[in-house]
Structure 1
Amino acid sequence: MTERTNRNLIVFLMLVFTNLIFAQKYLLPNEKLIYGFETQNGKKLVLAKDKNDKYIIYRFGTKNKIEFEFPEKTKASWDKFKYAFYLRGGGIQNEGMDLNYIKFINGNYKYVIYDTYYAVENEMSIGIKITNLKNNKTTDIKGKKSTQKGNLVDFRFNKLLKIEDELEE
């Protein structure tokens, strides 16, 4: 091998190992994205499932580091999440709206992923609200609609999550 080839090989290997060390995958090869977006702060939210429905998983963090993953990747994970929705058609005349929520509790915190549309205001919003259950303080982390992938509406029909009547606002 020439010196130039060796140098190119070393640079290539360094790039590969750097990506392996610093970039964590938000989707594993056996997973399918259900819903995801980038927050206005540049963080990433992903809700994914095993392609064979063995588990559902929530991941949140920076582009290079998953800061929070919930829950364990087991069949019991499906019972940790609940879905709620409300749909009123008819557009502005009927004050139409389409509200979709996925919620779960981890310790003393309730997480609510939301995807909402209000026809009167012609307003769509996505994000996640995190509520401290001890003091009821809520943090609303807004998402960038332009980065949204997937949807929550499928949970109305796919029977993967328990549907609750209690809406979150």
Structure 2
Amino acid sequence: MNIKNLKPVILFLFLLLSGLSYSQDYLLPNEVNLYSFETKSGKKMILAKDKNDKYMIYRFGTKSKIEFEYPEKTKESWKKFTYSFYLRGGGKMNEGMDLNYVAFTNKNFKYVIYYSYFAVGEKVNIGVKIIDLNTKKTVDIKGDYKTLQGNLVKFRDNDLIHVDDNGELYD
């Protein structure tokens, strides 16, 4: 068989195998899911990390295609993310709330992954806000709570990600 005839077959096999290397949860075998959910439109958002804390990564897309992955898989990736939270206890009587955010900036867009709990009405909001830093226009991609896995609260005690202690909130 001619090598020129094998090129399309090799390319097809490479693409097939590279697509299969991610599970339906968009995780590589060496990764752990930190926080993930499906959106109302059926796409999936995941924050994952290497099992040995070598990197943290954000992925977004459909079951068949990862549309956006950020950043590079290096130890420096942890520094690309910022965690911020606000906690007010006291339940409904004190209008208690627990607001958690992981944010990063890529090009001229700020991505804010959020989990918000409000004691009044026992309301939970999850999703990703994408803010155009030039126009200040915000797109809010809401998550489906029934598909939520993991939580952002664990970032409070994580020494690898920067915690914004100025209380910058994104809601």
Q: TM-score, normalised by structure 2?
A: 0.85
Q: Based on CA coordinates, which of the two structures has the bigger radius of gyration?
A: 1
Distance 1:158 1:121 in 2: 30
Quote the residue 1:3 is aligned against.
Answer: none
Distance 1:67 1:36 in 2: 15
| Number of residue-to-residue matches in the alignment | 154
- Cα deviation, residue 24, structure 1: 6.2
| Greater Cα shift, 24-33 or 107-116 | 24-33
User: Is the CA contact (8 Å cut-off) linking 1:23 and 1:64 kept in structure 2?
Assistant: no
Quote the residue 2:49 is aligned against.
Answer: 49
C-alpha distance 123-22 of structure 1, shift in aligned 2 (>3 A): same
- Cα deviation, residue 167, structure 1: 1.1
C-alpha distance 21-48 of structure 1, shift in aligned 2 (>3 A): closer
Q: Deviations over 1:82-127 (max 9, x none)?
A: 0000111111001100000000000000000000001113210100
Quote the residue 1:5 is aligned against.
Answer: none
Quote the residue 2:75 is aligned against.
Answer: 75
C-alpha distance 115-23 of structure 1, shift in aligned 2 (>3 A): same
Structure 1 stretches lacking a partner, 5+ long: 1-15
Given the alignment of the two structures, is residue 168 of structure 1 paired with residue 170 of structure 2, yes or no? yes
Q: What secondary structure does 2:121 align onto?
A: coil
Quote the residue 2:121 is aligned against.
Answer: 121
Distance 2:16 2:144 in 1: 26
User: Is the CA contact (8 Å cut-off) linking 1:23 and 1:63 kept in structure 2?
Assistant: no
Q: What secondary structure does 1:79 align onto?
A: helix
- Cα deviation, residue 23, structure 1: 5.2
% identical equivalent positions: 61
User: Is the CA contact (8 Å cut-off) linking 1:42 and 1:62 kept in structure 2?
Assistant: yes
Q: What secondary structure does 1:167 align onto?
A: coil
In angstroms, what is the RMSD of aligned CA positions?
A: 1.8
Distance 2:67 2:102 in 1: 19
Quote the residue 1:148 is aligned against.
Answer: 148
- Cα deviation, residue 140, structure 1: 0.2
Quote the residue 1:59 is aligned against.
Answer: 59
Runs of 4+ with deviation above 3 angstroms: 16-24
Q: Deviations over 1:3-62 (max 9, x none)?
A: xxxxxxxxxxxxx99964655611001111100000000000010000000000000001
Structure 2 stretches lacking a partner, 5+ long: 1-12
Q: TM-score, normalised by structure 1?
A: 0.86
